[in-house]
Structure 1
Amino acid sequence: FSITFGPGWLLCSGLVMMLCFTEISSQDCSQLRSWLNKDNLKLLNSKMGSTIPLQCIGHVANFSNNEEIHSHEIQGEDAKAATQEILQQTLHIFRQNHSQMDWGETSIAGFQAGLHQDIEKLGRCLGAEKGNSIRQRVKSYFRRINDYLKDDGYSLCAWEIVQMEVRQCFLLIDQLLKRTGNSGTFTNTIGTGIGGNCSFQRLPVK
């Protein structure tokens, strides 16, 4: 006794698997805040202090472009696009010369892998690239950070400052995801590059 499966059965099976995958992906996309960037922030926090080292005070930089926009609304899809661009630009930054960073190569590789994984996952939620305007704002902001690192010779203090800045941006990501839903928006003041939160102006010094 044998059972023969025809082309129609194979087609139906493929459709069922596709629907299941789509449903799982949709659930992941609707719960971005529960998983996105958590491990990256945890690793970053474990590798740096809560304050700027005293010897690095002279290296503190302001990455603002002196532009301030009040009551700036970022729609749900733009918030996701901004989040993805922050992660992409952070990955680019951490692929630069990091020989003077107080990180081991294993930690650097793990951080890069975590960023890449989250970028890929978020890309599946976004579909076609969206939010070009907000992406350009993010790129411009990180370009200033990259120039600062280069001009400071990728020094230990420069990396300390950049890590502080990136951590503030990761906290901004949490706000972006928390305040957006299927049709949600949030209002924020943009004054330091991309969101008003990525700034050294209020960070304590040790």
Structure 2
Amino acid sequence: MALLLSLLTALVVLSCGPVPSLGCDLPQNHFLASKNTSALLNQMRKLSPFLCVKDRKDFRFPQEMGGSQLQKAQAISILHEMLEQIFNLFHSERASAAWNTTLLAQLHRELHLQLEDLETCLVQLMGEEESALEMEDPTLAVKRYFRRIRSYLEEKAYSDCAWEVVRVEIRRAFSSSANLQEGLRRKDGALGSS
């Protein structure tokens, strides 16, 4: 659990607020897109999660990545990989059949904005930090996580409950990140004023 919180802390710092120590400044619209993504995932709910309790599953969010051990480029690469995987997951033909197409199009737009910002930042950081090969292990863990999600959807024949379980899983990561970000902002404010 502590490793999961470390990873989420790293993701929060990168996705929900200005981070001057990164060596690249993400534009304000990146943070707005992140908030919009979370709101859209909430709005997409079609079923009560209580109807799908029997379908719940632990997808084993990548815990081997500790946020305090990540280099800047690694953390951005992980966030980029997560957003890209989410984009691809919700950009499939099966997703189009399962979700409200208007909300889905808005979700695609918000994720695309965030991905563009992160790509720009990642290119800047790649010149500042060591080899990109060091980033592969954490991003491979993210890819395996999303493979488990895709396998689950396939096993469940892309049922409405399966999609709801996946939506809740993805939303949980965004919600946890937002809560942790607020704590980090307060902590950073206290450190900056001392």
The unaligned stretches of length 5 or more in structure 2 are 1-22, 186-194
Question: Under a length normalisation based on structure 2, what TM-score does the superposition of the two structures give?
Answer: 0.65
- Structure 1 runs (4+) deviating above 4 angstroms are 30-33, 67-72, 172-180
2:78 aligned partner, one-letter code = A
Deviations 1:57-116 (A, max 9, x none): 111111128x86496622322221111111000011112302553x32111111112111
Alignment of 1:81-92 (within 5 A): 81-92=77-88
Percent pairwise identity: 29
Answer yes or no: is the 8 Å Cα contact 2:33–2:111 preserved in 1. Answer: no
Residue 37, structure 1, aligned to residue 41, structure 2: no
**2: CA distance, partners of 1:169 / 1:92:** 17
Residue 63, structure 1, aligned to residue 63, structure 2: no
Deviations 1:133-160 (A, max 9, x none): 2111111111100110111111100011
Is the helix fraction higher in 1 or 2? Answer: 2
Q: Which residue of 1 aligns with 2:9?
A: none
Candidates 149, 154, 161, aligned match of 2:158: 154
Alignment of 1:108-187 (within 5 A): 108-127=104-123, 128=126, 130=132, 131-174=135-178, 175=180
1:156 aligned partner, one-letter code = D
Answer yes or no: is the 8 Å Cα contact 1:84–1:122 preserved in 2. Answer: yes
Question: Under a length normalisation based on structure 1, what TM-score does the superposition of the two structures give?
Answer: 0.61
Deviation at 1:173, TM superposition (A): 4.6
Q: Which residue of 2 aligns with 1:74?
A: 70
Answer yes or no: is the 8 Å Cα contact 2:49–2:165 preserved in 1. Answer: no
The unaligned stretches of length 5 or more in structure 1 are 1-25, 181-206
**2: CA distance, partners of 1:134 / 1:93:** 19
Answer yes or no: is the 8 Å Cα contact 1:84–1:123 preserved in 2. Answer: yes
Answer yes or no: is the 8 Å Cα contact 2:76–2:118 preserved in 1. Answer: yes
Deviation at 1:122, TM superposition (A): 0.8
Max Rg structure: 1
